[in-house]
Structure 1
Amino acid sequence: MKTERLLAIIMILLDKKQVSASQLAETLEVSVRTIYRDINSLSEAGIPVTTSPGVKGGIQIMDNYKIDKHFFTSADITSLLIALESLSTNVSPLQINQTFEKIKTLVPSGFMEEIEFKTNQIAIDLTPWTSNHTLQPFLEIVKFGMDQQRLLSFDYADNKGRKTTRIVEPYRLVLKEISWYLQAYCEEKSDFRTFKISRMLNLSLSSSTFVPREFKAKPLGKEPFYGKNFTITTLKVTHKIKEQLIDKFGQLSFYPSNDSEKLIVEFPFMEDEFGYNLLLGFGNQCECLEPPHVRTELRRRIENLLELYQKS
């Protein structure tokens, strides 16, 4: 969110001429130290920001500097507002509202109605169907840690249930499908690691700070679906499953089966836990017809599940 904050600082300074660091810190809900780091970033980017000491001193932009509001088209501002709206479920409402108001100052006179109309044409709702009451406070702690360059500590359970306690330097939050991840430098592993937020427990912010390392973002986990080796399977599915397959994998070729209520589709299947769990998750609305070895493995897994529930 640093880019949004830098833009907000510029707009505040253009509007109020001179502001103290403490006033900026209070308005943007960050520390004074963060404000001074932001001012240095603006100076390095060529923005003529100056500071003056004393009771009547403060931070200001040189009088001959201005941003032409017409530099931003209505399409540019619409895109910014839509992007902010999509974050509203994971960022505090106060922060979103403040940013909205600052971006609206960029709107050329007479264009506000048009931009509001265009913004309402697209809605991005990232809210999951089921709620996680710890997610919002955890995201706020992580974002504060990144902003203040403070260490985070938490208990972590990996995908095999193994539990460890980690102390990390937070660098990046990533939203992948419906899950949030933290990319951080782990002191225990002496390397960068990716942690799933939902697997964290007892997350806390340390009073210790860290000096940022060189961080290069890496893609999360698995390769994209199209980069995998897959097996062509023949599935018999209901119309409901057809919609789910299209949502996840794009357009596939479906054709009627002898059973008029179901469809046949040739599906590129990944022979791993993800693939088998995907098909089994469709229940009795999906049947694998071919190849035989995939059908046999699905049957073995179903029998193991049945045996589990038949135990007294």
Structure 2
Amino acid sequence: MRASRLVSILLLLQTRGRMTAQELADRLEVSVRTIYRDVESLHAAGIPLYGDAGPKGGYQLLDGYRTRLTGLTADEAESLFLAGLPGPAAELGLGAVVTAAQLKLMAALPVELRDRAGRIQERFHLDAPTWYRDREPVTHLPAVADAVWNEHPIQVRYRRWRAPQEVERRLEPYGLVVKAGRWYLVARAGEHVRTYRVSQILDLHPLPGTFTRPPEFDLAAYWQGYLAEFEARLRWGEAVVRLSPRGLERLADLMTPGVVAAAGESASPPDEEGWTRVTVPIESIEHAVGEFLRLGIDAEVLSPPELRDRLAETTYELSARYNPP
């Protein structure tokens, strides 16, 4: 375990350059004291590693030093062939590049690792988009990706859900995220960093000049925070629902993971009829009506009263339509 960590320190410094002891500790999930001991061991082994004190200090390899300890383990080689997203790569115009890179990697692997990696490709395929949804047209994705990579601003005409629906924005693109087959652009607009769906960009024009991407900006951390805020914004209320055994079983197939998790945490013991009472978050009354109607007779909403009333009205209207006088 320690030998693997020492190699990881070398590879991190080789690829990232200067890093503080705290950054190394956070990345490797150990204490700063452990990093100090590891650095001493690397010094003793003759590795040209030096450190500077102060706010801008940190550890760094001597210029020109390159470790040769880059051999892949079997698990690492296999994971590389699971990590690719052929669909998104093709949308970025990199489909052929990814294929060529995988071929070169396969050719460079030892025979035993090549066989294992080949079996991974034969037996596992990752298809990111959800069921019953075609890929969105992303006409401007290559231009957006170019702006992200080269740090040049863009002017876009964007269609959003609230009025006015079409707006003009000057954006400084920070990064791209693909989620469930949909591409999202994270960009600064004015004083704020916001998220834009690439398929909703109607027109795009590159602007002259460049911008400086904040070095402290962390795309993955921003995205996690955005998702948490998005979920909190959607879920403004709660509903108390009785579910039959079949309804409880179908919940995982028909509802979002957040609803399923909340139902599992709040589930009461089954009553004498075998039904379970749960408390789940809801986005709005109208949205909740559609969600709970999918469960049919296997769900009974107990509260809030306005949701129960809307369900009663909707089912009455449905009954009248399918059973006219």
Under a length normalisation based on structure 1, what TM-score does the superposition of the two structures give? 0.60
- Give distance in 2, aligned partners of 1:268 and 1:173: 36
Name the aligned partner's letter for residue 93 of structure 1.
Answer: G
- Cα deviations by residue, 1:16-57 (Å, 9 ceiling, x for unpaired): xxxxxxxxxxxxxxxxxxxxxxxxxxxx985966xxxxxxxx
Q: Partner letter of residue 73 of structure 2?
A: T
Shift of 1:131: 2.6
2-structure distance, mates of 1:247, 1:272 = 11
Equivalent pair of 2:135/2:181 in contact (CA under 8 Å): no
Paired amino acid for 2:303: P
Structure 1 portions without partners, runs of 5+: 1-9, 11-43, 50-63, 306-312
Stretch of structure 1 that moved more, 213-222 or 240-249: 240-249
Structure 1 or 2: larger helix share? 2
| C-alpha deviation, 1:255, in angstroms | 7.2
Corresponding residue for 1:98? 100
| Count of paired positions | 241
Displacement, 1:226?
A: 9.6
Q: Residues 142, 123 of structure 1: CA spacing in aligned structure 2 closer, same or farther, 3 A cutoff?
A: same
- The change in CA–CA distance for 1:65 and 1:134 in structure 2 (over 3 A counts) is same
1:244 maps to 253
- How much does 1:232 deviate? 3.1
- Quick check: 2:239–2:301 contact (8 Å CA) kept in 1? no
Mark the CA change 1:140 to 1:298 in structure 2 (over 3 Å): closer, same or farther: farther
- Taking the aligned partners of 1:205 and 1:109, their CA distance within structure 2 comes to 47
Secondary structure in structure 2 of the residue aligned to 1:270: strand
Distance 2:117 2:301 in 1: 52
Asked if 1:280 corresponds to 2:280, the answer is no
Match of 2:240 in 1: 232
Residue 54 of structure 1 corresponds to none
Cross-structure match for 2:309? 296
- Unpaired segments ≥5 residues, structure 2: 1-14, 16-58, 319-325
1:260-279 CA-to-partner distances (Å, cap 9, x unmatched) read xxx95544322333x75255
Q: Indicate the residue corresponding to 1:123 in structure 2.
A: 125
Native 8 Å contact 1:235 1:290 kept in 2: no
**Structure 1 pair 255/99, CA: closer, same or farther in 2 (3 Å)?**
farther
For the Cα contact (< 8 Å) 1:230–1:271, is it kept in 2? yes
1:1-312 → structure 2 map (5 Å cutoff): 65=66, 67-70=68-71, 72-85=72-85, 87-88=88-89, 90-91=91-92, 92-104=94-106, 107-128=109-130, 129-132=132-135, 134-135=137-138, 137-162=139-164, 163-186=166-189, 189-214=190-215, 215-217=217-219, 218=222, 219-223=225-229, 230-235=238-243, 241-245=250-254, 248=257, 249=260, 252=264, 264=275, 266-273=277-284, 276-281=286-291, 283=293, 285-286=295-296, 287-291=299-303, 293=305, 294-299=307-312
Given the superposition, is the C-alpha separation of residues 290 and 183 from structure 1 closer, same or farther in structure 2, using an over 3 Å criterion?
same
Give SS of 2:241's match.
strand
Please give the root-mean-square deviation of Cα atoms over the aligned residues, in Å. Answer: 4.2
Conserved? CA contact 2:238–2:279, under 8 Å: yes
Deviation sequence 1:131-169 (CA, Å, 0-9, x none): 34522x332222111111121221123331422101111
Matching residue's letter, 2:308 = R
TM-score (norm 2): 0.58
- Structure 1 residues 247 and 69, CA gap change in structure 2 (3 angstroms): same
